[in-house]
Amino acid sequence: MATYLLRRVLLGVLTLLVITCFVYGLARAMPGTPLTVQLGEDPSRKLNPEDQERLRRIYGLDKPWYMGYAQWLGNVVRGDLGRSITRKQPVTSLIAERIGPTFLVSGTALVLIWLLAIPLGLYASARSGHADERTASLLLYVLYSFPTFVAALFLQVIFSVWLRGTPWELPLFGMTDLPADAPWPARWADIARHMILPVTCQTYVALAYDSRFIKANMEEVLRQDYIRTARAKGVGPWRVLVRHAFRNTLIPLVTLLGLSLPALVGGSVIIEQIFTWPGMGRLFFESIRERDYPTIMGLTLMFSVLTLLGQLLADVLYCAVDPRVSVE
């Protein structure tokens, strides 16, 4: 196990090196620099050439990209992700600021997904073939094909235009309308109201996918001989389903859980963009637009580490829950 982990980690580090080098090169190849993009075309805000040259030197933009990458890498090894050029604060504190709101939405969504998907999947496999199950499954499939950003726009139209002025009207943008010094119950209630639509958007697709996944796995298990044995000795239908069948479908579910790790803190770029939610996905999108290299790199590093970690976690958990599987 230890050698396996060591090999995976070493390979992971190699992968990370290639990814970050590639993304850094790409980011630097985009036209414009943080200085030019930020100031825009406004001539009154144009820096004189000396100032611009000085800033370029301070941020290391005068060096070729591979030198810049080497410098960035050196700082990362020493635990320093650098400072954002456009936002004038350390990338780590920027991430710390944004990770909370993203986690709030995706964490709530994840809890909701599992709370709903497991009963739904069990219900679907218990009623498999009946009319109600077929309707429910078809509906879930349709939901699964419904693009998130289209759903987000539909919800915005419904709750901003069609339900305007009714008690059902929901806030569309941002995280809260209240000032930071508002009393906390009101503040949290307001944040909760703002969360409803983004959480809905992040929940429904995964819910549809996961409950279908659970049902597919259940169908496989329900054909096994030991299920027939359990039924033959008089175990009730629900007990067979939950105690005998579902427990044996937990293994693939664990893998799925591991793979959802990056999305948990990475957030969704498009959903956060639509609801102007101040989270990680939005930060990513903005940093690309602003050519804010340190932030782009910090986020890329984080996402890649989490993706690799999620894969590793899935594999290790797989071994942990299934004694038949060995990493070797």
Partner 1 sequence: MMAHVPHPRSRGFWAEAWGRYRRRPLAMAALSFVGFLVAIAILAPAIAGTKPVLCRYKGRLSMPCLGYFNRSWEPAVFARDRFRGTYPRNLAEKDPDSWAIWPLFFQDPYRAVRADEWPGMPANPAMDEGRPSGRNPFGTDQAGVDVLAKMVHGTTVALLVGFVSMGIAGTIGIVVGALGGYFGGWVDTLTSRVTEIVMCVPTLVLILAIIAILEKPTIWHTMAIIGATGWTGIARLTRGEFLRLKTSEFVMAARAAGAGPVRIMLRHILPNALAPVLVPITFGIAAAILVESSLSFLGFGPPPPTASWGSILNDARSNYRMWWLVVFPGTAIFLTVLAYNLVGEGLQEATDPRLREARK
d(CA 224, CA 41): 69
| Closer CB to partner 1, 19 or 73, in the complex | 19
Least gap, CB of 320 to partner 1 (angstroms): 22
Binding site for partner 1 (CB under 8 A): 11, 14-15, 18-19, 22-23, 26-27, 29-31, 138, 141-142, 144-147, 149-150, 153-154, 156-157, 160-162, 219-220, 223, 266, 269-270, 273, 284-285, 288, 296, 300, 303-304, 307-308
**Which amino acid does the sequence have at 4?**
Y
Residue 127 burial by Cβ neighbours in a 10 Å radius (0-12, 13-18, 19+)? middle
Q: Closest approach of Cβ 23 to partner 1, in Å?
A: 6
Of 149, 237, 245, nearest in space to 201 by CA: 149
The pair of structure tokens assigned to 156 is: 């915005």
Q: Shortest gap between Cβ of 261 and partner 1 (angstroms)?
A: 13
Distance CA 86, CA 94 (A): 11
Q: Which residue number, 54 or 228, has a Cβ lying nearer to partner 1?
A: 228
Q: Is 327 helix (H, G, I), strand (E, B) or coil?
A: coil
Closer residue to partner 1 (CB): 115 or 153 = 153
Residue 105 CB, nearest distance to partner 1 (Å)?
18
For 83, the 3-state DSSP assignment is strand
SS3 label, residue 86: coil
Write down the least CB distance from residue 161 to partner 1, Å: 5
| Contact assessment for residue 262 and residue 306, using Cβ atoms and an 8 Å cutoff | yes
Among residues 59 and 303, whose Cβ is nearest to partner 1? 303
**In this structure, are residues 163 and 266 in contact, taking their beta carbons and an 8 Å threshold?**
no
Nearer to partner 1, 157 or 327 (CB): 157
Compute the least distance from the CB of residue 255 to partner 1, in Å: 14
Residue 123 vs 209, nearer CB to partner 1 = 209
